[in-house]
Structure 1
Amino acid sequence: MLMIYLELFYIFLKIGAFTFGGGYAMLPLIQDEVIAHNWIDSQSLIDFIAVSESTPGPFAVNIATYVGAEVGGIFGSFCATLGVILPSFIIILIVAKCFIQFQKSIVIKGCMSGLKPAVVGLIGSAVISMSSTVFIPDGFNTTVFTDISFYTTLIIFLISVVLAFKKLNPILIICLSAILGIVCGYI
């Protein structure tokens, strides 16, 4: 049993150390590792991502805690959570200590410029991977247009477009989305 705790810590330590840009940039790595180790299936991970988005706290911490709890109970959740936050904690301590020296460094500015496109790519990869599982789990065919999930997806897309151009209260959007999800679940 000790090995599973060490493995949870190590896997999430790697994820926390080698991803920049927050939880969404971590999604492809989390998905690959969790599914490769058969800790959680793809659908369960997607379900928890939805739950994680609507619960307080950092996204990556919520997922690490959930996966750790599923695999190793309370101590497993502690190990996974510690693993994912430890690299950021150490880096922030170093940056805080040396902030003045880092602030004007051309090397640091170059690194940050190079990381921005990588983060966008990681987030894009997560969107494509998760979207295909959520919106077309059985592959794309003409029956997609007869399924209620197609129209739900279309409504969500239109809401996203409206949100991009209008300033609407996010709480209102979350409540409307929850109502839409409940209604579509009963149809």
Structure 2
Amino acid sequence: MIILQLYMAFLKIGMFSIGGGYVMLPLIQKEIIENYGWLTQTEFVDIIAIAEMTPGPVAINSATFIGYQTAGIWGAAFATAGVVTPSLVLMVLAAKMINRFYENRWVQAAFGGLRPAVIALIAGAAIYVAGTAITDYISVIFGLAAFALLIFTKLHPIVVLAISAVAGIIIYL
């Protein structure tokens, strides 16, 4: 049954994605496109773009959109439940133990190894999405301009997205 498959796929994604939504993107891509074939590469990138623009965590938004695209409202509910289950369980356990173990040198050493790995996963996801989203020299210019606006100005990311959308309408229509 596809709803159970969605739950299990996103449960796996949620269990092995330390570091947040962007870290999940390569795992989502592997599960949803390569393992199950529920979406095409283009559909996946479009859903990630929508998940980025909507309020909330990108992982939850992605799971909800992919679940809905795959199996309707129940698919959205089960995919979302799957991706949040591991975090919910871990946060309940962590809340009970964090004060007792956080200063432990073994825990600190583990975090020291996890932080750089998380950065690598985020960079890998960015490169992966860029490979599909950058289709011509104009999209390269859009990407560089948006990056510059985010890094060198105090513009809010929503404003940068709005500017990019308007520029896309003007140039691509």
- Is the TM value for this pair above 0.5? yes
Match of 2:32 among 22, 31, 34: 34
Structure 2 residue identity aligned to 1:180: A
In the alignment, structure 1 residue 169 sits paired with structure 2 residue 168: no
1:65-144 superposed matches below 5 A: 65-136=64-135
Please tell me the root mean square deviation across aligned C-alpha atoms, in Å. 1.5
Instruction: Flag structure 2 segments of 5+ consecutive residues without an equivalent.
Output: none
Contact 1:48/1:63 (<8 A) preserved:
yes
Q: TM-score, normalised by structure 2?
A: 0.92
Aligned-residue sequence identity (percent) comes to: 40
Deviation at 1:131, TM superposition (A): 1.2
- For residues 97 and 123 of structure 2, the distance between their equivalents in structure 1, rounded to whole angstroms, comes to 32
Structure 2 residue identity aligned to 1:82: A
- For residues 77 and 32 of structure 2, the distance between their equivalents in structure 1, rounded to whole angstroms, comes to 16
Number of the residue aligned with 1:183: 170
Q: TM-score, normalised by structure 1?
A: 0.86
**Number of aligned residue pairs:** 172
Structure 2 residue identity aligned to 1:88: S
- For residues 81 and 62 of structure 1, the distance between their equivalents in structure 2, rounded to whole angstroms, comes to 8
Name the larger-Rg structure: 1
Contact 1:152/1:184 (<8 A) preserved:
no
Higher deviation after alignment, 10-19 or 118-127: 118-127
- For residues 154 and 73 of structure 1, the distance between their equivalents in structure 2, rounded to whole angstroms, comes to 36
Deviation readout 1:38-95 (Å, 9 max, x if unpaired) = 1010001101111111111111111111111122221111111101001001111111
Query: Which consecutive aligned stretches of 4+ in structure 1 deviate over 3 angstroms post-superposition?
Result: none
- For residues 110 and 83 of structure 1, the distance between their equivalents in structure 2, rounded to whole angstroms, comes to 29
Structure 1 residue identity aligned to 2:83: V
- For residues 175 and 91 of structure 1, the distance between their equivalents in structure 2, rounded to whole angstroms, comes to 36
